[in-house]
Amino acid sequence: NHFLISPSSTMLFFIGAFIETLLQAIGQALVIWLLGLLLGVCGLLLSPGALLVVFVLLIISGFSVSIFLSTWIIYFKDTYLTESTLSLFISLFSGIFFPLAYMPGILRSISYVMPVTYLIKLFRALAIEKASLAESAYLIWPIILLSLFYFVIGYFWYERKVRKILVEKVLM
């Protein structure tokens, strides 16, 4: 079950992908939060309960999407270009940089198949609009369902790719 340069197991690979995604998301969130404070955006603080829910959902969706994206990286056999392109794609189509309402319809529909879109909407609802968790609960289910979808697809695609690589390695 070791096909990478280092002899890591599938679980360690997944954990590494998760940690990378989590740290990247936390870094981006901190930059956005700090820039918001510097630019005078007030009220970006969440209650401890809301912060915990957003953080747990970030972990769940980050892990599942990292599994899916890692499999793309293995498929294309290129880390830097693939990761950069996919990260840019997610950032552009998730509503981080500008509101989804400004996107053309077909591009906006792409954004709704990414859990991060709903995480951003949830954070904005809680932090900016001061909505309660109960009022924002409709945003939580898409995060969970899409995360489950990306995890299942990514996991089985990864396992299939590993088996194919191991068979090719044996045949060499």
**pLDDT at site 153:** 94
Q: Are 54 and 123 in contact (CB under 8 A)?
A: yes
pLDDT at 106: 86
Looking at the chain, the number of H-run helices and the number of E-run strands are 6, 0
pLDDT of residue 137: 92
What count of other Cβ atoms lies within 10 Å of the Cβ of residue 106? 7
pLDDT value of residue 85: 79
φ/ψ of residue 39, rounded to 5: -90, 5
**In the 8-state DSSP scheme, what is residue 79?**
S
CA 142 to chain centre: 13
pLDDT given for residue 1 in this prediction: 46
pLDDT on residue 130: 87
Rg of the chain over Cα atoms, rounded to whole angstroms, equals 18
Residues 154, 9: Cα–Cα separation, whole Å:
16
Residue 20, Cα to own-chain centre: how many angstroms? 11
Is residue 57 within a helix (H) or strand (E), and if so which, with residue range? Answer: helix 48-76
pLDDT, block means (10 residues), the chain with 172 residues: 57 77 78 81 74 87 84 75 78 83 87 91 88 93 95 88 73 54
